[in-house]
Amino acid sequence: MKRCPLEIGQCFFGNKIDIQMKLSQFKFKLTEEQIAKYPAKNRDESRLMVVHRNTGEIEHRIFKDILEYFDDKDVFVFNDTKVFPARLYGNKEKTGAKIEVFLLRELNEENRLWDVLVDPARKIRIGNKLYFGEDDSMVAEVIDNTTSRGRTLRFLFDGTHEEFKEALYKLGETPLPRYINRPAEPDDVDRYQNIFAKNEGAVVAPAAGLHFSRELLKRMEIKGIESGFLTLHSGLGNFREIDVEDLTKHKMDSEQMLVTPELVAFVNKAKDENRQVCAVGTSVMRAIESTVSTDGHMKPYSGWTNKFIFPPYDFTVATSLVSNFHMPLSTMLMMVAAFGGYDLVLDAYDKALKEGYRFGAYGDAMLII
């Protein structure tokens, strides 16, 4: 990969200074063998690459060693969104054709309306009925087209909303990312979920949090490291291919988020006291940066964000970032490169590939400090 020898935003091309990163600058070769199909046996025993921004030093550790880099009163911010079993398989009426339905979000509780993706989409039209379950116990009707693969479904079900959700989720399976390239298994229900997950709404697990075991969280507490939680419901936009070379023209999918006044006070106090604030995952970093005011402090927020962070970008709150090793050309890789510095992060990725680090949601982790 041709890299800029200068700082991001200062690459000279002719007599001009190019301040924009291009999509192709985030391309690297990743084989299927380097993508983790399964998580480490113990959550906190995956590998951890520690990248020091100031010196460029790179260390190879085990994830549970992470606490060595933090002190009493430092703060970790986690995303407590909870993944639901979003991938369903059904059959189309009359033809019996097998259809994959991916639940995105509930639009209307009373009418049981859901925003979904269908595959193959060309077979699914408004008015079609889809049947789910071995005995076709769940039926849904297509009532709208939203995008090329997007549909609005109305589920036909007699019973309370709680009974409906329970029946629907029994039919669904854990929505593993496609790049894992295997069917979901019973163990994935627990392993593709953070142990502190609380607020249901994600179809993508915030993978950086998957490394935190109950034992590690207890050790954090004993050391005096403090934990805070926000909610950002990670969606499939994380995996959507970027189709423009000029990154300024890419539009992120919106994701719902909640940052409470309690978390804001907690994080701002740590910032003002020059404590470390560690964002556990790119979803946390996006949420934090979506709420930063002009004075560099967080403010409470409940709503949606489509913030797209790529180099060059000035971060104002978080002093460190935990993140997994991401896919080429992904928006998550771009955010990590914005935080750690493009050259340093891409060099770290080169080393990770050579050293046999495992990539993806079930893979190893990086700490940038």
Q: Could you read off the pLDDT of 157-190 as tens digits, one per residue?
A: 989 999 999 999 999 999 999 999 999 999 999 9
Amino acid at 98: K
Q: Is 56 left (phi over 0), alpha (psi -120 to 50) or beta?
A: left
Q: 87-172: CATH homologous superfamily?
A: QueA-like (2.40.10.240)
Confidence of residue 10 (pLDDT cuts 50, 70, 90): very low
Could you tell me the two tokens for 252? 């992120």
First to last CA, the chain: 25
Could you tell me the two tokens for 192? 């593709």
Helix (H, G, I), strand (E, B) or coil at 251: coil
Q: What is the mean pLDDT of the chain?
A: 92
Q: What is the dihedral of CA 165, 167, 168, 170, to 10 degrees?
A: 120
Could you tell me the two tokens for 234? 């990670």
Mean local confidence (pLDDT), 136-153: 91
CATH numeric code, 11-83+190-368: 3.40.1780.10
Mean local confidence (pLDDT), 11-21: 49
Q: Where in the chain is the domain with CATH 2.40.10.240?
A: 87-172
Q: What is the pLDDT of residue 19?
A: 60
Confidence of residue 14 (pLDDT cuts 50, 70, 90): very low
Beta strands in 54-126 (DSSP E): 58-62, 75-79, 81-83, 87-92, 98-108, 113-119
Q: In this model, does residue 44 exceed pLDDT 60?
A: yes
Q: Which residue has the higher pLDDT, 238 or 1?
A: 238
Q: Where in the chain is the domain with CATH 3.40.1780.10?
A: 11-83+190-368
Which residues, including other chains, have CB under 8 Å from residue 190's CB and lie 6 or more apart? none
Q: What is the pLDDT of residue 213?
A: 98
Q: What is the DSSP letter of 179?
A: G
The position carrying tokens 């913030």 is 307
Is-contact 301 258, C-beta < 8 A?
Answer: yes
Is-contact 276 75, C-beta < 8 A?
Answer: yes
Between CA 324 and CA 316 the distance in angstroms is 22
Could you tell me the two tokens for 78? 């986690």
Q: Which residue has the higher pLDDT, 253 or 88?
A: 88
Between CA 351 and CA 34 the distance in angstroms is 13
Could you tell me the two tokens for 328? 């080429």
Residue 130 burial (CB < 10 Å; 0-12/13-18/19+)? Answer: buried
Between CA 198 and CA 75 the distance in angstroms is 20
Of 233, 307, 227, 345, which is closest to residue 275 (Cα–Cα)? Answer: 227
pTM of the model: 0.90
Could you tell me the two tokens for 23? 């999509």
